[in-house]
Structure 1
C-alpha cells in the first residue's frame, strides 16, 4: 500500500530492511521535542529501539516509512500484530518534516493494514499530558483505555515502561477501531 502526503513529495510505504538503519537516528531526532519539558527532557537522551529490534517487524510487514523524494526516510511507524490487535511500538518523524501530517499518514497505513488483516483494534501507549502525545492520538479517533479495563498485555507494556523510567502515573494506553480512523 502506498499513499502520498499532499503537502510534499513524501510517500508512505512498507519499510525495507535497509530502511531500518535510519530509525535510531530518526527516533533520537524526534525525541528532541522532549527537551521542551524540564521534567521529561531526559527522554531526548534515553535509549531508542535499535535497528535489530525493528527487523522482525519489518519482515512481518508491520513497519511503514515516510519516504521523502529528496531526503529519503524521514519517519517511520513500527507495529506488531498481537492477537486481534496491531500494537504501535514506536512512531517518529524527523523535526524537519513534523507538523505536515506524516504521523497521521503513518497511522492511517497501520490502521489500513489492521483492517486488511482482520485485526479489530490498534493500540499504543503514550503520555497523558504531553501535547503531541495523547491529545494528538485522540484527535485521530483513539480512545483512552481506563486503567481498570486494561488487558494483561497492555498492563505489562505499561509496567515495562515504568521499569524503564517512564512515570506510570503520566502514561496511558489508547485503542482505535481501525475501521473508523479519522482523516
Structure 2
C-alpha cells in the first residue's frame, strides 16, 4: 500500500485520538501497561493548536486517510518537541514514524529549527532504541535542558519510574546562509 506524509488538515483532527489509543495498545504487553493506559490522550484542542503552527503531521494511506501522526510543539526558537508520535498498528512496519519525523525535519530545518527532541522509554524496543536507530541521541544533562527536564519530572509525577524515562534530541542540518558558496 502506498503511504504519504503531509501536514494534517483540520477535518482530520477527530480521527487522531483513535490512532493514539490503538498505537498505545502495544504497551499492554509491557510492564508499563497500567501507566500508559492511565495517561491521558491528546486533546483535540492540542491537536488544533499544533495544526495551526505547522506542528501536526500525518502519515496517510492510499485513500488519503490518516494512519499515524506526529504532534510537535515549538520550544524556544530552535527546538521542536515531539509530544506524541503514533502509528496505527495495522500500518506498523512501514517506517511511517521515521518518515513523519524526516518530513518534520525537512520542513522545519530550513525555518530555523535546529533539533527535534522527545521523551521516551529507555528500555522498550520501539521507543529509545528505535529513536537511536533513526538519529536521536540521549540528552545527557537534563539540568541544562529546562523544558525536557520538566517533561521528565511531569512524567515521573504521573507514576512513570524515573530510571525508565529518557530525553533525546536529533540535530537537524542547518540551512546554508545567504551568500554562502560551495
TM more than 0.5: yes
Considering only aligned residues, what root-mean-square deviation do their CA atoms show, in Å? 1.6
Computing the radius of gyration from Cα coordinates, the structure with the larger value is: 2
Q: How does 1:52-67 map to 2 (within 5 A)?
A: 52-67=45-60
Whether contact under 8 Å (2:142, 2:149) holds in the other structure is: no
Runs (5+) with no aligned partner, structure 2: 175-182
Matched with 1:154 is 148
The TM-score normalised by the length of structure 1 is 0.88
1:12 aligns with 2:1: no
| Alignment deviations for residues 133-177 of structure 1 (CA, whole Å, 9 cap, x no partner) | 010000011100114554111111111111222222210000011
- Is the CA contact (8 Å cut-off) linking 2:67 and 2:91 kept in structure 1? yes
Partner of 1:120: 114
Extract structure 1 runs of 4+ deviating beyond 6 A: none
Paired with 2:119 and 2:82, the residues of 1 have a C-alpha distance of 8
Match of 2:23 in 1: 30
Post-superposition shift, 1:46?
A: 3.5
Q: TM-score normalized by structure 2?
A: 0.89
CA shift for structure 1 position 102: 0.3
How many Å separate the matches in 1 of 2:40 and 2:64? 25
**In 1, distance between residues paired with 2:37 and 2:141?**
27
Describe how 1:140-179 pairs up with structure 2 within 5 A: 140-148=134-142, 150-179=144-173
Structure 1, unaligned runs of 5 or more = 1-7
Whether contact under 8 Å (2:50, 2:72) holds in the other structure is: yes
| Equivalence map 1:134-145=2 (5 Å) | 134-145=128-139
